[in-house]
Structures are given as C-alpha cells and as structure tokens.
Structure 1
Amino acid sequence: MPDPTELRVALTTEQCWQPVPGGSGTYIVELTRELAGIDGLAVTGVAARHAVPPEDDWVPAGLVRHSRLPRRLLYDAWQHLPGPRAEVIAGGADVVHATTWAIPATRRPLVVTVHDLAFLHEPSHFTARGNRYFRRALAQTRQSARSIIVPSLSTADDCVAAGLPAAQITVIPHGSRPEPRTTREVADFRNRYSLDRDYVMWCGTIEPRKNLPALLAAFAAAADTLADVDLVLVGPVGWGDLPVVPNDLAPGRVRMLGHLSRADLHTAYAGAAVFCYPSLREGFGLPVLEAMQHGVPVVTSQGTACAEVAGDAGLLADPRDPQDIACALVAAIRGRDELAQRSRERARDFTWEASAASTAAVYRDAAPA
C-alpha cells in the first residue's frame, strides 16, 4: 500500500522516448534521479504506450506507468479531451508535473515546466503543427497550472509577457552532473573520430534557432587566425535545412559527427579548446553549462538565457553578427587558460540536487492542504 505520509507526484516522462529527447530529456532523466532520493516524495512517471524502453541514456529513474494510447493519440487526447488523466495512468497522485508542453489531463494540482517560448518569437523556426500544439499548450498552462517552473530569468520574463501570472512562476536553474574524463579517454575519442587538431565545438539538435549558419560564417572569418583549429559539430538532425559549409573553408576544417552517446558527448566536451553556442534563443542553454563543467571556455549569445548561465565566465557575442562571434572565438582561444578556470568555478553553482530540492518544494506548495 502507498505510504499515506508521502506526497505522490505523477510526472510526464514521454519525452524520453522521442527520437531526439534533447535538453528536455536530460532534464527528466536527471530530475527523476534526484527526486528519487528525497524523503517523503513518491514519483511515478507517466508515458504513452511503448513496446520497448527508451535508449539507455534516456531511461528515467523510478517507476513509469503507461497509457494504453500511443504518443500521437495521447497528446491529442490531452489537448482536446478530459482524459486519460495523469493520476489515473500513474495509479494515484496528489500533484501532476508536466515536464514539457505535453500537458496531461488532470483533476489534481498541476505544475508545468516551461523550458522556453521560442515558438512565440520565431514561429518560422518550428513546423506548423508544432506551433499549433505549443500555443494550445500555453493556453492550457494559463488556464490550469497552479505552479510554473522555468529554468531562467529570461524565460520567466517571456512567460509574464505571454500572460502567465508572475506569482505562479518559480525560477529553478538546471544542473549539470560532473562527468570527468582522463587524458587517455580524450585521446581515444580523438583517434576514433580522427580529430588530430584543436577544435571549437558546438552541440545540439540541428534546427533553425540554433543559428549554425552564423557559427559557420564566424568560423570562416576567423579561420586564417585560427589556422590550427577546426570546427566540430555534434548532434542529430532535427528539422530545417542542413547548414552549408562556406566555400572558402578548406576541406576538413568542419567536421560533423552526428549523434553521440552521452559518454562520447562528454568526452567531446572534455577535448574541446572552446565551446561556441550562438543560439538565437534558448530557455536555459544546457550545453553551455555542460561544457563549463569540463572547464571549457565558452562563447555564447548575449541577451539570452545562455548569457545567464555563462555569467562572467564566458565571452558573449551578438548571435546575429558573425564577425562579433569570430572575434570572441579568437579571444577565447587566446585566453583559454584563464577562461577554463572561470568555467569550472561557474559550473559549480549549478547542480541537479539543488534543482530537484527546489522542485520538490514547488510540489509541496502546490499540493492540497
């Protein structure tokens, strides 16, 4: 029997089965891992029907209960029908947590994590179906959420501008789990991928808002100065056109490694000379924090949530100005040692343990008295 003193939480985990779980998937995996260790809390994952578990890197901690509906039907039902309710799928809950824009039907207090509102600012960067879905989910959040979690002040400001009540919003930054790598592990990784020179690294899902054309143009502008440095792009194709490598870059200066396992991704971070993440808009910018955790100097976008994460430790550039990004890349390479130390110190301010503790506090505030 359930412990009557425990707070029962139904938490959506369906993102972990997506082809590209991305930062939201990392959020769910890390959050459930830390929540599992908090006394007085019983968390059950809620997902669509699946014949197999998610890939190893994306398995959420704890029990997950599944709807009888596949994802598409479940998501459509949640947007248009009063069920199936999350607490029913979970076998009981006192609070329901929507960890993405998949807002479940529920009669329990609802907590929603809003990672970003990029679809309002740059609708052309999303599919037509995605825009419709996100806008309906935003309306559901306005109507039904008791508490809203956001990962950054930038996203909090966006939420208020979009009509979400400021009093319901709590800023809870993401964390990063240290995954140190040895010199030998980095060397082995470099050998497997034939990375025999220093490299500037980018990672993420390849999609328009990641601003890869500007990064490529910036690297081309800095290529003569950074003659012994290559550009390495890591991540799966999402949607939109693949980035075109500028013609004036010599063959081999840009390497596209595609999707990497979590282990290889962190080894790639550890081996990078600089990490560059010039996104036009992010809700947090988890890759910036992960790179800093490895002591890698960071160049990222001014005026964004990524700048909040980087703080005084990173170099900021105008993401719409390739020449500005190029100057920051050169400065980061030249100031590598000092910036590396600043990255490590900054990364210590962000832990998943702290994120989970703050999230649990939101659950308790939202729960019935």
Structure 2
Amino acid sequence: MVVEQLYQPVPGGSGTYVVALGDALRRREDLRVVGIAAAHRGAPAADWRTQVPVRHAPLPRRLLYAAWQHAHVPRAEHVARTALDVCHATTWAVPPTRAPLVVTVHDLAFLEGPELFTPHGNAFFRRALDDVRRRADAVVVPSRATADDCVRAGIDPDLLHVVPHGVDVPRPSPTAVAAAQARLDVGSDYVMWAGTVEPRKNVDRLLEAYAAAVAADPGVPDLVLTGPAGWGAEPVVPPSVRTRVRRTGRVSRDDLHALLAGATAFVFPSLSEGFGFPVLEAMAHGTPVVTSRATACAEVLGDTGVLVDPLDVDDIARGILTALGPDGARMRVAGRARAATYTWDTAAERTVDAYRAAVRRRA
C-alpha cells in the first residue's frame, strides 16, 4: 500500500486513514502488508508513524510522482521489492503495477471547485483520475456522497466499494484536558473548529457566522481555530469578535483530542469533504457538532447534531446557537453512540473485500 501521504507536511485526514487502516490490516492473519513511499531523509512526524514496514523508491516525491504519471516507472512491486497480490493506492499517488490495482478516492473536490486548489494540484489530480478510470480494478470510497461523485466523473459504478472510515480517539482525563486548555490559552468554555486552513474549509463564513451568533447572544463562548495554515488568503476575523477568536496553529494529536473533548460545541461548515474525520472525532468525544447539509459530513453525523447550509452565514449562526442550547445534551450522548459504530477493524474487513473483488476482476 502507498503510504507517501504520511510524509506530507500536513498529512490530514488522508494521513489518519493511511495510519489507521494500515495498522488494522497488519493485525490480520490473512495479509502481509508492505508500505511504499518516495525517498525521504527522515521518518514521518510522531503522530503519523505506521506499524506497516515501509520501503522507499530511489526518487524524491516530486520526481517519483512525475515518473509514475508520465514514464510509468518504477512499478510498485519494484519499490516494495516483492511480488504483490494487490497494489493499494491510498490517495491520488497511483503507482504503475502489474498487480490488481485498488485506489482509494477520498473526494473529487478538485472537480467541484477547481478554484479551491493550486494549478499544479489540479493538474496532478486530473491525471490521476484519468489513471483510475483506465486502470483501477476496484475503487474504495469513504462515503455515498463520494461514490456518487465518482460515477458522475466517469468511474465505473461496478468498481465502487463504500468503506466508511473508523475512529479511534484517545480518552484524555479531565486533568489532561484542563492542562491542554491552559497550555494553549483557550479557557474552559469554547466553540471549536479544526482542520487545515484552506478555501474549501469555509473558515471565512464560519467567522462571519460566529460574529452573528455573538451579536444574537453575547454569552456565546469564544471560538478556537485549531490546525495549520494551508494555502489561500488568511481568513479575516470580523472586528466585533477580534478579541474572542483564538488561533492555536498546529497542535499535537494529544492536544487536539484534549481540545475536542473539552469543547462546548464543534462547528465544521466545510464546502466539500470526502468523509469528515473531524466531525467523527468530535462525536466520539461526545461534543455537539454543527456541519454542512448534503455532504459526506452529514452522512457521518446523521441525526445526532445540527446540519446547516455552508453558504448561508445566518444558518451557520443558527446552528451554533442550537448546539449551545438545551438540545446539546442529547447530541453528546447520540453522537458518541453513533461514533462507536465506526471501527477500523470493520473498515479493514470491507477493504479486504475490495481487494478480493479486484483479484476476481483481473482474473
């Protein structure tokens, strides 16, 4: 399986997927899993290390990706230095291979909103999509929404396997939560957002909605934005709430989960997601969630939180106020119960089903 995502500056939800799925597959007795990646001088950051043994190509990432897409070398089995029964491309980095090919398509956001990505990224994703259409023997997607997008993009529906991700969050003690809050200077009562700051995350509208919510109810807690800068213009904080918005930047996995566990509500009005890890992780901590209607995030949330129109600032503000209201207690219990049904062992089992389907198709 391709594990190159773990070496990206911001591995994100795809990195979480690679680590957790790889480790779940490795626990199985019917598989032997080998990771492949480009040449790197060091190991991934501590939060992104996998138990899967990794073998490296002789080329750095940019050259390897170009070689894979244009020259169709080196094949995955050459990088792995072993014969492969199945090759699993866990992101758009799709290697050439003679083995049955399984590709995970997390989302097709670059087709829906190309302006939300860099020109280089758009070109890379489109070439990879062409490759998937031509070569994939099975395509794994994390949500029904992404499956529908794949069909519209010309991927054979018979290849698709909907495999929701699992969730496995640490359970920080109240002392650990309080310590993280103090260390990051966020107080003990706050509304939270988490992710990489980039256009499709819709942070500008979130900030406008937060200002509207505070105008309607000055008792609304402060807003904490957690995560690294990605690309695009910096979100503009409305002057009326400038002293009430806290940017923590990138934090450790332990601190992230401490903040999620301690949040009064989690608000994630993303314009496009393939699945929505932050939503599921907040639910697993029993934190009331506000997220975008008619998206993969809505599939994850179900009826356990508040769904809003991500293009409507007033609707997002309404969602914030609702999550902070009397129904928040129900959301905490319902969200935690629903999150418990998402496990990585189940995801691994269904991924193996996709492997078997790919082998049958190739045969």
TM normalised by structure 1 equals 0.95
**Which residue number in structure 1 is paired with residue 338 of structure 2?**
346
Q: Name the residue aligned to 2:42.
A: 52
* Deviation of 1:228 (Å): 4.7
The residue type paired with residue 249 of structure 1 is V
Q: 2:174 aligns with which of 159, 183, 207?
A: 183
C-alpha separation in 2, matches of 1:196 and 1:130: 38
Report the Cα distance in structure 2 between the residues aligned to 1:57 and 1:51, rounded to whole angstroms.
17
1:287-337 Cα shifts (integer Å, max 9, x gaps): 000000000000000010000000010100000001101011101001221
Asked if the contact 2:106–2:146 (Cα under 8 Å) also holds between the matched residues in 1, the reply is yes
In structure 2, the residue matched to 1:113 is 104
The structure-2 alpha-carbon separation of the partners of 1:324 and 1:228, relative to structure 1 and needing over 3 Å to count, comes to closer
Cα offset, 1:88, TM superposition: 1.2
**In 2, are the aligned partners of 1:47 and 1:64 still within 8 Å (CA)?**
yes
> Do the aligned residues in 2 keep the contact of 1:81 with 1:105 (CA within 8 Å)?
no
Is the CA contact 1:44–1:64 (under 8 Å) kept in the aligned structure 2?
A: yes
Q: SS state of the match for residue 49, structure 1?
A: coil
Deviation at 1:178, TM superposition (A): 3.2
1:366 aligns with 2:358: yes
Identity of aligned residues (%): 53
| One-letter code aligned to 1:362 | A
* Letter of the structure 2 residue corresponding to residue 239 of structure 1: W
Aligned: 1:192 with 2:198: no
Kindly report which structure 2 residues correspond to 1:228-307, keeping only aligned pairs within 5 A, or say none: 228-251=220-243, 253-307=244-298
Structure 1 counterpart of 2:347, from 355, 360, 365: 355
> Is contact 1:117–1:283 with CA below 8 Å preserved after alignment?
yes
Which residue identity is paired with 2:276? G
Match of 1:32, as an amino acid?
A: G
> Are positions 1:91 and 2:87 aligned together?
no
Q: Determine the structure 2 residue equivalent to 1:4.
A: none
Instruction: Measure the CA separation in 2 of the matches of 1:201 and 1:228.
Output: 12
Q: Which residue of 1 aligns with 2:144?
A: 153
Contact 2:22 2:51 in 1 (8 A): yes
- Name the counterpart of 2:27: 37
User: Tell me, which stretches of 5 or more residues in structure 2 are unaligned?
Assistant: none
Which residue number corresponds to residue 63 of structure 1? Answer: 53
Q: Identify the range of structure 1 (357-366 vs 240-249) with the bigger mean alpha-carbon deviation.
A: 357-366
- Alignment deviations for residues 332-367 of structure 1 (CA, whole Å, 9 cap, x no partner): 001221111111111011111110111112112222
What amino acid is aligned across from residue 323 of structure 2 in structure 1?
A: A
Deviation of the 1:108 alpha carbon = 1.0
Q: Within 2, Cα distance between the matches of 1:148 and 1:61?
A: 24
User: Once the two structures are superposed, what CA deviation does each residue of 1:73-131 show, in whole Å capped at 9, x if it has no partner?
Assistant: 00000100121000111122111000000010111110000000000010000000100
Quick one: distance in 2 between partners of 1:359 and 1:226? 48
Q: CA RMSD in A?
A: 1.0
> Mean alpha-carbon deviation: is it higher for 108-117 or for 357-366?
357-366
CA contact (8 A) 2:163 2:351 kept: yes
The 3-state SS of whatever aligns with 2:251 is coil
Name the CA distance, whole Å, in 1 between partners of 2:332 and 2:218: 18
Q: Match for 2:55: what amino acid?
A: R
Listed one character per residue, the Cα deviations across residues 150-180 of structure 1 (whole Å, up to 9, x for unaligned) are 0000000000000000000000001100311
Alpha carbons 2:213, 2:220 under 8 Å: kept: no
Aligned to 1:207: 198
Residue of structure 2 in register with 1:309 after alignment: 300
Distance between the aligned counterparts of 2:51 and 2:37, measured in 1? 13
Give the Cα–Cα distance (whole angstroms) in 2 for the partners of residues 239 and 195 of structure 1: 25
- How far apart are residue 196 of structure 1 and its match? 2.1
Q: Give the CA deviation at 1:197.
A: 4.2
Which residue identity does 1:326 align to in structure 2?
A
Q: 2: distance between equivalents of 1:227 and 1:145?
A: 53
Q: Which runs of 5+ in 1 are unaligned?
A: 1-10
2:72 matched residue in structure 1:
82
Query: Is contact 1:97–1:110 with CA below 8 Å preserved after alignment?
Result: yes
Is 1:124 the counterpart of 2:115? The answer is yes
